[in-house]
Structure 1
Amino acid sequence: MATEQVLHMNGGVGETSYANNSMLQRKVMVMAKNILEDSIMRLYCSTLPNCLKVADLGCSSGPNALLVVSNVINVVDAVSQNLNREPPMFQFFLNDLFGNDFNTTFKSLPHFNKRMQEEKGHSFGPCFFNGTPGSFYGRLFPNDSIHFFHSSYSLHWLSKIPDELTDAAKPINKGAIYLTRTSPPAVHKAYFAQFEQDFKCFLRARSSEILPGGAMLLTLIGRDEDNELINAWMVIGMALNDMAAEKLIEERKLDTFNMPSYCPTVEEIRQIIEEEGSFDIERMETIRTDWVKNINVNDDDDSLIDEDSISAEAVTKHVRAVAEPILKSEFGEAIMDELFIRFNNYVVHLYGVEKLELPNLVIHISKTT
């Protein structure tokens, strides 16, 4: 099945929905807020548009989809007051793949607009929203039409599983669904080649669509050079291996399935941006998060609760909200409950023994002049 058809988060507002299980993503957005504020302030002061056009690529659904919108509005409103200017109009484009639950986000817009009007009063100018379904690895907008692109926790998803992992007569990543510490060099080479191709397509498309003076802020899950960190895909792979050994799933399916995701290192990202040549790197930082801690945040609180509040159940719901659609398309719905029970048990066992962290890469780039 084509990746675009199954690569989406769990929709709706149920117990395993992304809307109710996306605190990790929200946490990272809050931690990167100061970089977003700085990039928006610099862009707005240098261009002073009458209508600021912002695209959020890979917006998904739920409360996080409008977090960047409110952050942008707050920054521009504050700068406008300092400059003694009327704030501009805003036009926000919310983008994700066709299977995304846009309806949940659209239904929240009346409440969002009301809240903004109550907070900003007469200074809150017209704010327009557009849904823009489609892959950000291709063109989404006309030439010279967007001031600012934002993308958080999306660009580590690939446009497809690398051909080398699916076309080989003999599986070259047997028993694994992602890169592991013991993966053959050919597996890493295939994953990186696909990521490099996708990311260059992304940069080329945005370079045509961005207005002069425009910029982008990109946040994605990265990887350390030593590859010593264990991520959720590796833990899912462990659970699937156990289920294959017990004949609960077909071993052939496990051997031929690979997650369409790649977490690059800082140097890999830098290399690709410099080789493609359309953008200059203004700022690049790594924000480390423990992906197992139960994270409680709001817009004003970016602190993690202590280790005693670790909840394997919470992280299991989070990972299920993200990964279930694509896993279900390959292994069937019947095994999902059992799979994530085993995932939960592995998290309990591994935490405190292995390093369960994510290096999140935050990159502010501007169009090369």
Structure 2
Amino acid sequence: MVLENILCMNTGNSDTKELPILTHSIKAIANNHDTVFGQCFRIADLGCSSSKNTLLVVHNIINIVHQMCEEKNLKAPQFQVSLNDLFGNDFNTLFKMLPDFYTVINNEKDESFGPCFVSAIPGSFYGRLFPDQSLHLVHSSYSIHWLSQIPEGIENNGSNIYITKTSPPNVLQAYRKQFHSDFTKFLQMRSEEIVPGGGMVLTCIGRSIVDPTSEDSCTLFELLAQSLVDMVKEGMVRESDISPIHLPIYHPCQEEVRNVIQNEGSFSLDNLVVFRLNWDPNDNDFINTNDVNNETSQRHGENASKILRAVTEPLLTCRLKKSIIDEVYKRYGKLLAKHLAQKKTRHFNLSISLTKK
């Protein structure tokens, strides 16, 4: 199974958390490259997906640059924006959004605003995508925790679809090794494409502790696996159908991210910010440690199930009949609701800003 043919990246809802980091990174690039302003600022968004959030990120970056130009009384640069995702991504949807995007940008800015040119660059970001030293800023949101392939030698992980406390030690080691290899490759490829002094802002789902079986990393996928196991017990799914299912993701801890960056050596780590988000992106309650009533937990469970379905369904449909997929995620939503009623586990997120040496 070639993962590049079935996966497309999924953007997150961390825009407000990323803005200060983006602002800081763009200011640093401006200090290193005074000539950029008045010429062309080249941006790449890796793992862009095809939602409205994609162009919102671009909009935010343009606003930051434009505001800096106004503050320093500088001419705004032209913008060259490259949107990247795997070949299966729905780039046509993005292209259809561009006329409205251009209209909004042009209406917001004055005559000094430099034109913006948007294009698509399909392909895996674990390989080369751009010419040498052609980019000033690389952005990637909720993509680098996706692995280039399923780790090798994890067939003994049983009915687990990801790392759990019952996973054999070799499974944990295989996932860790694959992430370290992939993230190192990612940094190496970008080091060739970014100008010296250029920057990257990366956001991914991580975990809060060194232990890879931490609750905030694994519970979501343990509950999805439980939905499948329950259907096996009821004869709706064969065990042989679910045992080969393994998710090609890895949620790193802060120490792992720092170590890979340091060992690869092409970038300096400027900032690493952690923050938590609820499983249901519509849930704004960050005070209570569990959902306050059954109706609330049901709603949050259903919403969280929809979000995870968008991410995991392409992987399940490779092994399971499409006719039972709805039932899988219906059960999943109920398990999520039951968990949230007892304990509101949250995503642990990492936002990283880097500068090319």
The answer to whether the superposition gives a TM-score over 0.5 is: yes
Q: Which residue does 1:221 correspond to in 2?
A: 205
Q: Which residue does 1:200 correspond to in 2?
A: 184
Contact 2:123–2:129 (Cα < 8 Å) also in 1: yes
Q: Which residue does 1:363 correspond to in 2?
A: 352
Aligned residue among 245, 257, 268 for 1:269: 257
Question: How far did residue 147 of structure 1 move?
Answer: 0.6
Question: How far did residue 245 of structure 1 move?
Answer: 1.7
Change (3 A) 1:295 1:129: farther
Question: How far did residue 305 of structure 1 move?
Answer: 10
Aligned residue among 167, 172, 195 for 1:211: 195
The answer as to 2:29 corresponding to 1:3 is no
Aligned residue among 228, 240, 250 for 1:252: 240
Distance 1:286 1:115 in 2: 32
Question: How far did residue 163 of structure 1 move?
Answer: 1.4
Distance 1:175 1:337 in 2: 20
The answer as to 2:305 corresponding to 1:316 is yes
Contact 2:215–2:345 (Cα < 8 Å) also in 1: no
Distance 2:281 2:82 in 1: 32
Residue correspondence of structure 1 range 153-192 to structure 2 within 5 A: 153-165=142-154, 171-192=155-176
Q: Which residue does 1:44 correspond to in 2?
A: 30
Distance 2:150 2:29 in 1: 36
SS of equivalent residue, structure 2 residue 252 = coil
Question: How far did residue 78 of structure 1 move?
Answer: 0.7
Distance 1:234 1:244 in 2: 15
Aligned residue pairs total: 343
Distance 1:41 1:231 in 2: 38
SS of equivalent residue, structure 2 residue 351 = strand
Contact 1:116–1:124 (Cα < 8 Å) also in 2: no
Which consecutive residues of structure 2, in runs of 5 or more, have no partner in the other structure?
none
Runs (4+) of structure 1 exceeding 3 A deviation are: 303-310
Contact 1:37–1:71 (Cα < 8 Å) also in 2: no
Distance 1:234 1:283 in 2: 32
Residue correspondence of structure 1 range 1-369 to structure 2 within 5 A: 1-8=1-8, 25-26=12-13, 28-48=14-34, 49=36, 50-165=39-154, 171-225=155-209, 226=211, 227-229=214-216, 230-292=218-280, 294-295=282-283, 311-368=300-357
* Larger RCO: 1 or 2 (CA < 8 Å, sep 6+): 1
SS of equivalent residue, structure 1 residue 344 = helix
Change (3 A) 1:83 1:111: same
| Worse-matched range after superposition: 70-79 or 29-38 | 29-38
Taking only aligned residues, the RMSD between alpha carbons, in angstroms, comes to 1.8
SS of equivalent residue, structure 1 residue 347 = helix
Distance 1:56 1:293 in 2: 22
Per-residue CA deviation, residues 121-171 of structure 1 (Å, 9 max, x unaligned), is 323211001100000000001111011110000000001101112xxxxx3
**What percent identity do the matched residue pairs reach?**
43
Contact 1:148–1:216 (Cα < 8 Å) also in 2: yes
Question: How far did residue 102 of structure 1 move?
Answer: 0.7
Question: How far did residue 312 of structure 1 move?
Answer: 2.1
- Read off the aligned partner of 2:273 and give its amino acid letter: E
SS of equivalent residue, structure 2 residue 242 = helix
Distance 2:193 2:169 in 1: 36
Contact 2:179–2:250 (Cα < 8 Å) also in 1: yes
TM-score (norm 2): 0.91
SS of equivalent residue, structure 1 residue 108 = helix
Change (3 A) 1:305 1:172: same
Contact 1:295–1:305 (Cα < 8 Å) also in 2: no
| Worse-matched range after superposition: 201-210 or 239-248 | 239-248
Which consecutive residues of structure 1, in runs of 5 or more, have no partner in the other structure?
10-17, 166-170, 297-302
- Read off the aligned partner of 1:317 and give its amino acid letter: K
Question: How far did residue 244 of structure 1 move?
Answer: 1.6
Question: How far did residue 355 of structure 1 move?
Answer: 4.5
SS of equivalent residue, structure 1 residue 283 = strand
Contact 1:149–1:217 (Cα < 8 Å) also in 2: yes
TM-score (norm 1): 0.89
| Worse-matched range after superposition: 150-159 or 244-253 | 244-253
Contact 2:8–2:47 (Cα < 8 Å) also in 1: no
Question: How far did residue 367 of structure 1 move?
Answer: 1.1
- Read off the aligned partner of 1:204 and give its amino acid letter: Q
SS of equivalent residue, structure 1 residue 286 = strand
- Read off the aligned partner of 2:131 and give its amino acid letter: P
- Read off the aligned partner of 2:40 and give its amino acid letter: C
Question: How far did residue 247 of structure 1 move?
Answer: 2.2
Distance 1:87 1:184 in 2: 55
- Read off the aligned partner of 1:38 and give its amino acid letter: H
Per-residue CA deviation, residues 254-282 of structure 1 (Å, 9 max, x unaligned), is 22210000001100111111111111100
Distance 1:235 1:96 in 2: 28
Distance 2:79 2:65 in 1: 10
